[in-house]
Each structure stands twice: as C-alpha cells, then as structure tokens.
C-alpha cells in the first residue's frame, strides 16, 4: 500500500515537468550559443565573487574582533574576492582563459583521484570499473581542453553549463513522470 504522506511533493509534478522542459530547452540553446553562455557564466561568476567580497569586507570592518590578525584575514579574503570578481567582470575574455585552465586542473585532480580510488577498490575486489572509466574520462577531457587551449576557452565552460542544464532537465522530466504515475496509481487505489 502506498503511503499518501510519502507521495506529497513540495510542488506538483506539472511544475517539475515544466521546469525540466525549460532547462532542456535552455541547455539546447546553450549548446548552440556556447561562446555567449561561457561569457555570461564568467561574468555571473565574477559578479557573485564581487558581492561575496563586499559582504566579507563589511564583515571584516563590522566585526568586533579584538585582534587585528582576525580582522586582517577577513579584509584580505575580501580583497581577493573583490579583485578576482572585478577582473572577471571587467575582462571576461581573459577570465575565460584563466578559468578554463583552472577547470582543466580540477579535471586532472579529480581524474587522478578517481583512478587511485578505483585502483584501491580493485585490490579489495569491489566493483571499480565505472570509477576508473570516470577518472579516465576526466583526464581525457582535461587533455582535450589543454591541447586545444586557448581556443577551447571560448566554448568549453558554456558547453559544460549547457550539458548540466540538459542533464538536469531530463532528470526533472523523469522525476515528474514518476511522480505523475505514482499519483495516478494512488488515486486509482483510493477510488476502489
């Protein structure tokens, strides 16, 4: 028997479906406009860093920290955020070049970590192949980004954001369909 309390969603399945379709459409558009999505993502990231830096600056100035060293740390972090965010907003093309290399570095670190973890799991007899494949894919993507740099900088961030939107859109559509089916099943059982 299906427990009605477990069926309740914070929103209706129709809203999940609409959001999933919207994300899917925006993701497909993002794939078509990777350069613009890359620049928009970098500018938004820079703006968020600027705002974070301003809050950190306010906190550093308003804190009742007695020692200067505690206050200085907040002010230093604020300065880094403000300069970093300002540079991204002021020159998003250069920011795109830098962030793409940082992304490649993250992919290398994640890929090597996954491969190491898979190697350790293999020794214990656990299933390890998917983790190994994931690590190899991370390294392959990083290699492609670095090999094609600086040209890859102008599309890779936008492509990754667009792919995330597409995957999230499909996930929400699947969740909406599952919620709809469960809801209809519960209604049928309740009416009998």
* pLDDT of 183 over the 90 cut: no
pLDDT by residue (tens digit) across 4-25? 555 565 568 888 899 999 999 9
Tokens representing 141? 């993507």
| Rounded average pLDDT over 52-72 | 82
Angle at 39 between CA 86 and CA 106, to 5 degrees: 80
């Amino acid at each position: 028997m299906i427990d009605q309390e477990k069926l309740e969603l914070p929103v209706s399945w129709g809203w999940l479906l609409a959001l999933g379709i919207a994300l899917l459409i925006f993701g497909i558009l993002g794939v078509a406009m990777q350069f613009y999505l890359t620049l928009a993502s970098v500018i938004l990231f820079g703006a968020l860093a600027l705002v974070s830096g301003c809050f950190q600056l306010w906190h550093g100035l308003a804190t009742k920290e007695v020692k200067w060293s505690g206050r200085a740390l907040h002010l230093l972090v604020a300065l880094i955020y403000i300069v970093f965010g300002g540079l991204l907003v002021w020159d998003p093309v250069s920011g795109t070049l830098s962030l793409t290399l940082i992304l490649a570095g993250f992919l290398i670190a994640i890929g090597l970590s996954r491969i190491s973890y898979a190697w350790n799991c293999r020794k214990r007899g656990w299933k390890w192949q998917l983790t190994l494949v994931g690590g190899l894919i991370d390294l392959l993507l990083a290699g492609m980004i670095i090999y094609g740099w600086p040209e890859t900088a102008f599309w890779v961030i936008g492509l990754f954001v667009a792919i995330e939107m597409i995957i999230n859109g499909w996930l929400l559509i699947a969740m909406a369909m599952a919620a709809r089916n469960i809801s209809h099943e519960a209604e049928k059982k309740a009416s009998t």
